[in-house]
Amino acid sequence: MHSPFPYDRLSTLEEFFGREEELEKLSNIVKYSNNLLIHSKRRMGKSSLINYFFEQHKEDYLCIYVDIFDITSKEHFAHSLLKAFSNSHKSDIKTAIKNLTALFKRVRIEPSIDPVTLEYSIKPIVATLSFEDMMDDFFDSIATLSKSKQIVLAIDEFQQIANITDVKLDALLRKYIQSRENISYIFLGSKRHMLTSLFEYKAPLYELATHYELQPLKVDAIYEYAKKFLDLDVGMVAYIYEKSDGETKMVQNILHLLYINREKKVSKELIDEAINEILNSKDSSYKIIFDTLGNNQKIALKIVGKYKRGFFAASILNEYNIKKQTLQSAIDALFKKEFIDKEGDKYFIPDRSLELWVENL
């Protein structure tokens, strides 16, 4: 048995809801082989969105998805592309290896089996290849294949390429992207400032993708889905939305906990209990994170969590016994570490459950 409110995994086709406008946007972009940059705060459902789109269109396009969140080198990046491309071929293993061997010039392909799931997949063997060889084999292969099949390549957590400093990956990718035919690139990411800086004026990827900010799910869409499984009204959904600040993952987590107690009618008290359960489950890990901060950064995080804006007022500085310049330095350090973010004049903690935990300090 599983809950219809996934919060720690991707949604299945049956569990996905409320993104009709976004799916239409994706369809229109991909139809004409254009590129799209999708950005938002973390935990808003970007990966679920692209996963659903790919499931919808797996017969129409060759869909390649690669998550580069954990890349540590340019070679790791290139290998991730090759692995994702290899496993995008849905035919039987023998046929897929034959087709890929015909495409690749240098990369050798072998079958692989997952020791946990016992599922077969395809593994590119690249131990003796240079980064340049791997990149050429990948992009030459999709260019060749795109002559007969439209391709969509989605790179999740794309901002991570900025952490690779021994090569200008964005400049290198521009060379491949601007000369493409019949290929759409979908870039997804959550570290908005780092991500959008890759596409800003004078950056190598400038104007190579349409920018699109993924907004929170709408309250009515959440309600229409949730009422199939829970005894609740739209007002309770609005309360969940407010407490979660629209963060999809937290909304789903709360709904999941309410589903466990679904024999009860949903009330604000039950919602508050669910939120407390979430915060209590994360208390130990949040304490460890908090203890890594210096004293001034701890104070700054508390102030941002409580006030969001206007915290250089004399009354707030006096309340926390901190000088304006010291607070500004601490805020800058937290921003650099991505503990906090900013929209207009409002600061916030991107992880909503951490933000609520800090508010309770």
Per-residue confidence (pLDDT) for residue 60, from 0 to 100: 93
Per-residue confidence (pLDDT) for residue 141, from 0 to 100: 93
Residue 285 neighbours by CB under 8 Å, 6+ apart: none
Residue 79 neighbours by CB under 8 Å, 6+ apart: 124, 126, 134
Taking a C-beta distance cutoff of 8 angstroms, is the pair 248, 44 a contact? yes
Question: Phi/psi at 18 (nearest 5 deg)?
Answer: 75, 15
List the one residue out of 80, 100, 104, 90 whose CA is nearest residue 155: 80
Per-residue confidence (pLDDT) for residue 331, from 0 to 100: 93
Residue 219 neighbours by CB under 8 Å, 6+ apart: 234, 237, 238, 241
For the stretch 174-188, pLDDT in tens is 999 988 889 999 999
Taking a C-beta distance cutoff of 8 angstroms, is the pair 212, 37 a contact? yes
Question: Phi/psi at 343 (nearest 5 deg)?
Answer: -130, 115
Which residue reads 């907004």 in tokens? 215
For the stretch 41-57, pLDDT in tens is 778 889 999 999 999 99
Rounded percentage of the chain residues whose pLDDT exceeds 90: 66
Taking a C-beta distance cutoff of 8 angstroms, is the pair 208, 170 a contact? no
List the one residue out of 164, 105, 159, 113 whose CA is nearest residue 137: 105
For the stretch 86-130, pLDDT in tens is 988 766 778 888 888 888 888 888 887 766 666 777 888 888 889
Rounded percentage of the chain residues whose pLDDT exceeds 70: 97
Chain centroid offset of residue 133 CA: 29
Distance between first and last Cα of the chain: 37
Chain centroid offset of residue 236 CA: 27
Taking a C-beta distance cutoff of 8 angstroms, is the pair 231, 266 a contact? yes
Cα distance between residue 195 and residue 193, in whole Å: 5
Averaged pLDDT for residues 198-210: 89
